[in-house]
């Protein structure tokens, strides 16, 4: 094991210091918008090959990538592959996988991003694969759907908009969906990582 400094590190690119910049957060959010658009227009995928076999291929590449990491890190986990709608889902199931999730799912998001890049390298097309570890996403989705429903009914009663706590793009998407299902309107406001969903009364 290696001793690390207790400070945010930076990436050295040649002589240039590339630091996390303010625009990064906007880009993350732009991507979320892109993701949603792709969700709604699945047939416009550049390759149009989101058939079952290519989703299964995505899942297999992702599973290999994750399995390699589990082996190296000496973590026990079983990998399940599934297709949910038009998306490959790879789930790692195991007892001690907190390191791959993080306190608030931030490690899981990072790992999913890397896994999507790994799939992209092999298939050449942009992957929308979802990675779950230890049931984190499934559990979080249930909680947030319930929260969205509760807040929607509260806003419907009071007629006053309500702002929720800061959430990740994944979390906000679930809230938006739950609010829409309840017949109300919601928007995201603010900048990452303090972007929050605001729920508005109908009409």
Partner 1 sequence: MLEEALEHLVRGIVGHPDDVRVVSRMLRRGNVLEVRVHPDDLGKVIGRGGRTARALRTVVGSLAGNRHVRIDLLETGEVR
Summarize as ranges the residues that interact with partner 1 (CB under 8 A).
1-14, 18-21, 23-24, 27-28, 65, 68-69, 72-74, 99-100, 102, 106-107, 109-111, 113-114, 117-118, 120-121
- Return d(Cα 116, Cα 107) in angstroms, integer: 14
- Return d(Cα 96, Cα 167) in angstroms, integer: 25
All residues at 6 or more sequence positions from 44 whose CB lies less than 8 Å from its CB, including other chains: 38
Q: Which is nearer to partner 1, 113 or 160 (CB)?
A: 113
Q: Which is nearer to partner 1, 1 or 40 (CB)?
A: 1
**What is the nearest approach in angstroms of partner 1 to the Cβ of residue 123?**
13
Q: Which is nearer to partner 1, 78 or 106 (CB)?
A: 106
**What is the nearest approach in angstroms of partner 1 to the Cβ of residue 107?**
4
Q: CA angle 178-183-185, nearest 5°?
A: 80
- Return d(Cα 161, Cα 138) in angstroms, integer: 28
Q: Which is nearer to partner 1, 40 or 103 (CB)?
A: 103
**What is the nearest approach in angstroms of partner 1 to the Cβ of residue 38?**
17
**DSSP class of 125:** S
């Amino acid at each position: 094991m290696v001793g690390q400094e207790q400070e945010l590190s930076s990436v050295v690119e040649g002589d240039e210091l590339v630091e996390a910049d303010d625009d990064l957060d906007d880009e993350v959010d732009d991507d979320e918008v892109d993701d949603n658009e792709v969700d709604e227009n699945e047939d416009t995928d550049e390759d149009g090959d989101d058939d079952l076999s290519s989703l299964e291929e995505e899942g297999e590449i992702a599973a290999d990538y994750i399995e390699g990491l589990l082996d190296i890190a000496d973590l026990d986990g079983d990998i399940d592959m599934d297709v949910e709608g038009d998306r490959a889902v790879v789930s790692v199931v195991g007892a001690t996988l907190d390191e791959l999730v993080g306190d608030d799912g931030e490690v899981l998001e990072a790992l999913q991003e890397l896994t999507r890049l790994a799939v992209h390298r092999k298939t050449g097309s942009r992957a929308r694969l979802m990675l779950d570890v230890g049931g984190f996403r499934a559990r979080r989705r249930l909680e947030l759907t319930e929260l969205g429903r509760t807040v929607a009914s509260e806003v419907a009663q009071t007629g006053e908009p309500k702002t929720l706590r800061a959430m990740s793009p994944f979390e906000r998407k679930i809230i938006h969906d739950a609010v829409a299902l309840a017949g109300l309107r919601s928007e995201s406001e603010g900048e990452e990582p303090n972007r929050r969903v605001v729920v508005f009364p109908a009409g």
